[in-house]
Amino acid sequence: MIAILSEPLWRRLINSQPKDPATGRAKPEATALVMSIGAVLTPLGQLVFSWTCLPTTIHWAVPIAFGVPFGMGNTLSFIYGTNYLAGAYGIHAASALAGNAVMRSFFGGTLPLAGPTMYARLTPQWAGTLLGLLEVALIPIPFVFFRYGERIRARSRVIRQMREDQERNETKRARQEARRERMARAEEKREEGGEKGVFEREDERAVTADAR
């Protein structure tokens, strides 16, 4: 809830990044900056929760409180990771998001099957620590995309094809606009020529009438 209610703050942070000259909007990599915040909050909440959830000397409110950064980090990573895919793949965003949903559903449906056994053998502290350390290992990923995402996107065959198609469409659109402008100018000239012919005929009638 905190992550969602803080959307104006995240949007301001994204819009403060350099704009894409082609679109006039922030580049997709700007969303990776918010993902980086989520990548740090998630393992922080996970690790502290793991080591404060069992000892009776620690108040129960402490692990509960550290569920807040864990949930906030997951929410930021999910929402702005989705935004990054949508911004990076443009008109192919639906396919990219569908592929992401399939992979997320696959791992989300299979990995929890090992959860009960892992927690039983490692104990909640060490099982949670293992997951937290895996999350720590993933922290650099959004930072890499924030710093080098544009270069990474430039190597994608799909994105290169999308850019080529966009350039062709823009060229075609520019030609159509130029053609319409030429036709409009030609129509104006014809109308001006028609009005001039009407005036000339009226002048001739007036001269003839005066001569009579």
For helices 67-89 and 157-211, the axis angle rounded to 10 degrees is 50
pLDDT class of 26 with cuts at 50, 70, 90:
confident
pLDDT at 125 over 60: yes
pLDDT digits (tens, 9 = 90+) for 50-83: 999 887 788 889 989 999 999 999 999 999 999 9
User: Model-level pTM?
Assistant: 0.71
Q: Residue 80 — φ and ψ, nearest 5°?
A: -85, -20
> Contact 135/42 with Cβ under 8 angstroms?
yes
Buried b (16+ CB within 10 A) or exposed e, 176-201: eeeeeeeeeeeeeeeeeeeeeeeeee
pLDDT digits (tens, 9 = 90+) for 143-172: 999 998 888 887 877 777 777 777 777 788
pLDDT at 203 over 70: no
> Contact 38/72 with Cβ under 8 angstroms?
yes
* Overall residue count recorded for the chain in this entry: 212
pLDDT confidence of residue 89: 83
